[in-house]
Amino acid sequence: MMYASEAGYPNVVARLWAYQRERFPLAIIIPLLLTFSISSVSVSAHLSGRRMPELGAYSAAFILSLSSFWALHVAQEIRDADLLKLTRPDMPIQRGLVSIQLIGTLGAAAVALALAVAYSYHEFLLVPLGFVLVWVGLVVAGFFAPRLVRATPPLHLLGFTLVVPLIDFMVTACEWGPRSGTVPPGLWTFLLMSLANGCILEIGGKIRSPISRKARRGYYSTAWGLPASLWTLGAFTLAAYGCMVAYGAYLDMAPHFAEAGLLVGIPFLCCLVCFAIHPVPVLEKTVAAASRVWIAGCYATAAALPFIWD
């Protein structure tokens, strides 16, 4: 069998482009992180009762978020390299499309870029960025118990998702750090929404039909069973919805956020119900896509609704 690494990719740029399509799809990630970054900065301003900041705050927020999530992805690649060589030899690094050294170098470059942006925009950003980078290091080390983490799906889930509100805290600091140095009241609601949405993104992307050829170890639907996985996904959706309404309460707009959240959440929950009734492989990608739509809808609503009802 001839893999993509053996033909059709004459240079490293082409191979990296093929790698990102498989492992870090920028066509999906960039729109999500743009929405995430714009929303986080705007929410901080809304909660503080200030006007929106200059473009520099949004630019710094996006670079920091993209760099952080890329570094987190690289950490996971380094941690799992040996295991995937045995269990998934078809993966890009394992089949030789790109080397782990190259991906590690690009991860280090992203960390250097994040440090430079944080220092140049506002020195306080180095503090939350430092905590994010410590978490990245813990991921590389498998939290010093890699076998336990791999064998325990809830620990694996938390290993990815607990860092999301920390990244979000750093991104919101692009607004409140230079302006007041004080965390806005009610920011905890938004950070908890990010935690729930991180769980939705992780679980939603790793649910497979029981009859799918891809229903292998490492998917939550394999570890927990499909019904439990979908119930868990629904529970986190309700948690994110509750956090969104709580955020709206700090702006005296809870009813508006409750209505807007239902407009986004009901179609997503209907998608989960449809997949539960008809768990066929063709619908697997629908669940992952609907998860991303829900997440983007949450952040877009949090940022835009205060303008609409101002």
Confidence check: pLDDT of 2 > 60: no
242 has pLDDT over 80: yes
At residue 244 the predicted structure's pLDDT band, cuts being 50, 70 and 90, is very high
End position of a domain, from candidates 168, 185, 202: 185
Please compute the mean of the pLDDT values over residues 42-70 and round it to a whole number. 97
Q: Does 156 share its domain with 268?
A: no
For residue 271, pLDDT over 70 is answered with: yes
Do both 23 and 132 map to the same domain? yes
Q: What angle do CA 283, 268, 157 make, to 5 degrees?
A: 80
Gyration radius from the chain CA atoms: 20
- For 158-173, the pLDDT digits (tens) are 998 999 999 999 999 9
Inter-axis angle of helices 163-179 and 55-87, nearest 10: 160
Question: Within a domain: residue 226?
Answer: yes
155 and 275 in one domain?
A: no
67 contacts 111 by C-beta, under 8 angstroms: yes
pLDDT score of 213: 59
Q: Are both 204 and 60 inside the same structural domain?
A: no
CB 42 within 8 A of CB 303: yes
Structure tokens that stand for 62 in this block: 């996006």
Instruction: Estimate the share of the chain in helix, then strand, then coil, as percent rounded to the nearest 5.
Output: 80, 0, 20
| 157, 185, 213 - which closes a domain | 185
> Are residues 78 and 197 located together in one domain of the fold?
no
How many other CB atoms sit within 10 Å of the CB of residue 95? 16
What pLDDT sits at residue 282? 84
Domain with 205, as residue range(s), is 186-310
Residues 106 and 255 in one domain: no
Residue 158: its H or E element: helix 153-161
pLDDT, residue 228, reads: 95
* Per-residue pLDDT reduced to its tens digit, 112-149: 999 999 999 999 999 999 999 999 999 999 999 988 99
For the beta carbon of residue 141, count every other beta carbon within 10 angstroms: 13
157 and 198 both lie in a single domain: no
Distances (CA, A) of 67 to 12, 62, 157, 299: 21, 8, 21, 19
Which own/partner contact pairs does 99-104 have at CB distance under 8 Å and 24+ positions apart? Answer: 102/12, 102/16, 103/19, 103/74, 103/77, 103/78, 104/74, 104/78
Residue 4: the pLDDT is: 43
What is the value of pTM for the model shown? 0.94
The least confident of 146-160, 164-178, 263-277 is: 146-160
User: Do 60 and 178 share a domain, yes or no?
Assistant: yes
* Residue 16 included in any domain: yes
pLDDT band with cut points at 50, 70 and 90 for residue 219: confident
Are residues 141 and 222 both part of a single domain? no
Instruction: Indicate the average pLDDT of the chain.
Output: 93
Token pair belonging to 169: 């805290």
Task: Please report the pLDDT score of residue 222 as a whole number.
Answer: 86
Rounded distance between C-alpha atoms, residue 120 and residue 122, angstroms:
6
pLDDT digits (tens, 9 = 90+) for 79-104: 999 888 988 899 999 999 999 999 99
Burial 8-20 (b: 16+ CB within 10 A, else e): ebeeeeebbebbb
**pLDDT in the model for residue 72:** 97
Please calculate the CA angle 222-224-230 and round it to the nearest 5 degrees. 95
- Looking at the fold, whether 279 and 208 belong to one and the same domain comes out as yes
pLDDT at 1 over 60: no
Q: Identify the band that residue 214 occupies on the pLDDT scale cut at 50, 70 and 90.
A: low
Contact 41, 53 (CB under 8 A): yes
What is the structure's pLDDT at 157?
93
Q: The CATH number of the domain where 106 resides is what?
A: 1.10.357.140
Query: Using CA atoms, how far apart are residues 12 and 283, in angstroms rounded to an integer?
Result: 34
- Are 228 and 156 within one domain? no
Write down the pLDDT at residue 211. Answer: 79
Token pair listed for 95: 């089949």
The residue among 169, 185, 201 that closes a domain is 185
User: Mean per-residue pLDDT for 26-33?
Assistant: 97
Token pair of 128, please? 């939350």
pLDDT of residue 217: 65
